[in-house]
Amino acid sequence: MSSSSAEETMLADESATVTVRAPGRLHLGFLDPSGSLGRRFGSLGLVINGFETEVELGASSSTRVSANGPAALADVERAEAELRLLQRHSGHHEPLHLRLVQVLPAHAGFGSGTQLALAIARAFAHWHGLDLSTARLAQWLGRGQRSGIGVAGFDLGGLLVDGGPDAHGEPPVMLSRIALPAEWRVLVVQDGAQRGLSGAAEQQAIRTLPPMPQAQAAEICHQVLMRVLPGAAGAEFAPFAAGVTHIQRLLGAHFAPGQGGHAFTSAAVGRVMDWIGMHEPLSALGQSSWGPTGFAILPSMARAEALAGALYVAGVVAPSLSLRIVSGRNTGATLVDRRPGASVR
């Protein structure tokens, strides 16, 4: 074979890849973080457009992980660990090249760790022809143990509610999935100078929080069942927004001891949320997970754009903050198989 033919074959092999793109999500809150009826957590979450993790998997002479753009060393190391786990559980040890094309911001409230793990796992399973559910892959990688929003969001998108893990530690069961109305928009407020709790620090914070009274947990569940879900299902924005904001106020007060005594991890995000609460009452406000990302859900693009402009005019957007308007995403992850004869999914 000539050198030019060899180069062409190598390039063809390198282009035979499987790519998975997984959407980010906002964690809108736990239903019963203290388990007042014996079952802890339960979650409300929303999958959104505009924030994604993308990975690409292909054959290689040796197993390796590389990254594009802003992917950090920690992302690469995490991906290497996920690949090792997948190889161990599946028994498939063929060398592969995993490329992190883009990753969600880490520890910011978008579910970056779970989406990276599931994107890698789905690409790996598809590459090897393994018919495995996302729930099984999540179990292999130790994901979705406290909240099922990331796992279900990877598959389905939408506005999601799970019932929390059971007493035996089985993964959370999905209770509801509703498509968010297409015209609604989310103003995402990010603080690049802050990070939310994760890992051991998150576990310690949860252990040391005072128990949430059963009455407050019941109030959150009532708001979800009779305001948030019916509002989304019937495209009635006002009850939806009132329910989400009320839930976030209860949870912000509960988790404040783990966030320096504040409802928002980022003081700069908190100032923006306070301003919105005073000047745009018809909005669903809160913080995703441990933050620092805040959100304001609005009934239309026009309202979202007007609000973003007003925030800048009012001078409440600190230099560390960035604002972005996105829509809800009612579909899950996508997979593209570029191997000869494969189809797009």
* pLDDT at residue number 267: 96
Domain presence at residue 281: yes
On whether both 106 and 18 belong to a single domain, the answer is yes
On whether both 130 and 12 belong to a single domain, the answer is yes
On whether both 261 and 202 belong to a single domain, the answer is yes
The total domain count for the chain is: 2
Of the candidates 14, 134, 114, 137, the one whose C-alpha atom is nearest the C-alpha of residue 66 is 14
* pLDDT at residue number 59: 96
Domain presence at residue 345: no
Domain presence at residue 239: yes
Instruction: Give the chain's radius of gyration (CA, Å).
Output: 21
Q: What is the pLDDT along the chain (345 residues), one digit of tens a residue?
A: 333 333 333 344 567 999 999 999 999 999 999 999 989 999 999 999 999 999 999 999 999 999 986 667 889 999 999 999 999 999 999 999 999 999 999 999 999 999 999 999 999 999 999 999 999 999 999 998 788 999 999 999 999 999 999 887 788 999 999 999 999 999 999 999 988 877 788 788 788 899 999 999 999 999 999 999 999 999 999 999 999 999 999 999 999 998 889 999 999 999 999 999 999 989 999 999 999 999 999 999 999 999 999 999 999 999 999 999 999 999 999 999 999 977 655
On whether both 27 and 143 belong to a single domain, the answer is yes
Domain CATH for 57: 3.30.230.10
* pLDDT at residue number 91: 97
Q: Does the pTM of the predicted model rise above 0.85?
A: yes
Residue 91 has what DSSP assignment? -
* pLDDT at residue number 207: 83
Q: Beta strands 96-102 and 64-67: pairing type?
A: parallel
Domain presence at residue 342: no
Tokens of 24: 């980010």
Neighbours of 96 (CB within 10 A): 22
* pLDDT at residue number 157: 98
* pLDDT at residue number 345: 55
* pLDDT at residue number 13: 58
On whether both 143 and 20 belong to a single domain, the answer is yes
- For 259, the domain range is 185-327
Give the Cα separation of 94 and 75 in Å (integer).
22
Domain presence at residue 344: no
Domain presence at residue 132: yes
Domain presence at residue 167: yes
On whether both 166 and 274 belong to a single domain, the answer is no
Q: 250, exposed or middle or buried, with CB in 10 Å at 0-12, 13-18, 19+?
A: middle
On whether both 242 and 136 belong to a single domain, the answer is no
Domain presence at residue 139: yes
Domain CATH for 232: 3.30.70.890
On whether both 17 and 163 belong to a single domain, the answer is yes
